[in-house]
Amino acid sequence: MESTLEQKLGHETTLVEADSIVIRFSGDSGDGMQLTGSQFTDTAAFLGNDLSTFPEFPAEIRAPIGTTAGVSGFQVNFGSKEIFTPGDEYDVLVAMNAAALKVDIARLKKGGIIITNTAGFDKKNLSLAGYPDGANPLEDGSLDNYTVHKIDVTRFTKECLSASGLGMKEIERSKNMFVLGLLFWMFDEPMDYTINFIKEKFTKKPEIADANIQTLKAGWNYGDNTEIFTTRYKVSPANLPKGVYRNISGNHATAIGLVAAAELSGLPLFLGSYPITPASDVLHELSKYKTSNVKTFQAEDEIAAVCAAIGASYAGGLGVTTTSGPGMALKTEAIGLATILEIPLIIVNVQRGGPSTGLPTKTEQSDLMQAMYGRHGEGPLPVIAACSPSDCFNTVVEAARIAVEHMTPIIVLTDGYIANGTEPWRFPAAADLKHYKVNFVTENNNPGGTFMPYKRDEKLSRPWVKPGTKELMHRIGGLERQNETGNVSYDAKNHETMTRIRAEKIQKIADYIPLVKPDSGKDTGKLVVLAWGSTSGSIKTAVRELIAEGYDVAHVHLRHINPFPKNLGELLSGYDNILIPEMNCGQLLQLIRAKYLLPAIGLSKVQGLPFTTSELKNKILEILK
Partner 1 sequence: MTTIAEKEPAPKLTAKDFASNQEVKWCPGCGDYSILKQVQTVFPDFGVPKEDIVFISGIGCAARFTYYMDTYGMHSIHGRAAAIASGVKALNPDLSVWIVSGDGDAFSIGGNHFIHLMRKNFDVNYLVFNNQIYGLTKGQYSPTSEKGKVAKSTPYGSVEEPFNPSELALGAKSSFVARSLDRDPKHMQMVLKRANEHKGTSFVEIYQNCPVFNDGTFFAYSEKETKQEQSIYLEHGKPLVFGAGADKGIKLDGTNPVIVHLNENGNSVNDLWIHDEHDKTKAHIIASFFDTHYNGVSFPRPFGVIYSEDRPTCEDGIRLQIEDLIARKGTPSLDKILSGEKTWTIL
In the window 447-466, what residues touch partner 1 (CB under 8 A)? 450, 466
State the minimum distance, in angstroms, from the CB of residue 272 to partner 1: 6
Residue 480 binding partner 1, by CB under 8 A: no
Nearer CB in complex with partner 1: 35/601: 35
State the minimum distance, in angstroms, from the CB of residue 474 to partner 1: 7
Nearer CB in complex with partner 1: 345/558: 345
Task: Say if strands 318-323 and 383-385 run parallel, antiparallel, or are unpaired.
Answer: unpaired
Within positions 239 to 298, which residues make up the interface with partner 1, using CB under 8 A? 240-248, 256, 259-260, 263, 268, 270, 272, 289-293, 295, 297
Which part of the chain contacts partner 1 (CB under 8 A), choosing from 214-222, 424-432, 502-510, 589-597? 424-432
Residue 311 binding partner 1, by CB under 8 A: yes
Nearer CB in complex with partner 1: 264/572: 264
Say which DSSP state 555 is in. Answer: E
State the minimum distance, in angstroms, from the CB of residue 553 to partner 1: 30
Total chain residues near partner 1 (CB under 8 A): 73
For residue 527, give Cα distances in angstroms to 517, 546, 624. 14, 11, 8
Residue 510 binding partner 1, by CB under 8 A: no
Q: Which residue in the set 169, 434, 437, 470 belongs to the binding site for partner 1 (CB under 8 A)?
A: 470
Say which DSSP state 132 is in. Answer: P
Strand blocks (E) in 80-141 = 90-95, 108-117
Contact 21, 1 (CB under 8 A): yes
State the minimum distance, in angstroms, from the CB of residue 469 to partner 1: 6
* Helix 192-201 × helix 175-186 angle, to 10°: 160
Contact 580, 616 (CB under 8 A): no
* SS3 track for 261-307: HHHHHCCCEEEEECCCCCCHHHHHHHCCCHHHCCEEEECCCHHHHHH
Which amino acid would we find at residue 430? A
CA angle 586, 592, 598 (to 5 degrees): 110
Within positions 55 to 94, which residues make up the interface with partner 1, using CB under 8 A? none
Within positions 151 to 210, which residues make up the interface with partner 1, using CB under 8 A? none
Give the x/- contact pattern for partner 1 in 318-337, rule: CB under 8 A: -x-------------xx-xx
* DSSP string for residues in 344-362: -EEEEEEE-B-STT-BTTS
Nearer CB in complex with partner 1: 427/551: 427
Nearer CB in complex with partner 1: 238/543: 238
Q: Which residues contact 495 (CB under 8 A, 6 or more apart)?
A: 480, 489
State the minimum distance, in angstroms, from the CB of residue 475 to partner 1: 4
Which part of the chain contacts partner 1 (CB under 8 A), choosing from 467-475, 495-503, 515-523, 576-584? 467-475
| Strands laid side by side in the 147-151 sheet | 50-56, 71-79, 20-28, 90-95, 108-117, 147-151
3-class secondary-structure state, position 73: strand
Nearer CB in complex with partner 1: 34/535: 34
Nearer CB in complex with partner 1: 359/438: 438
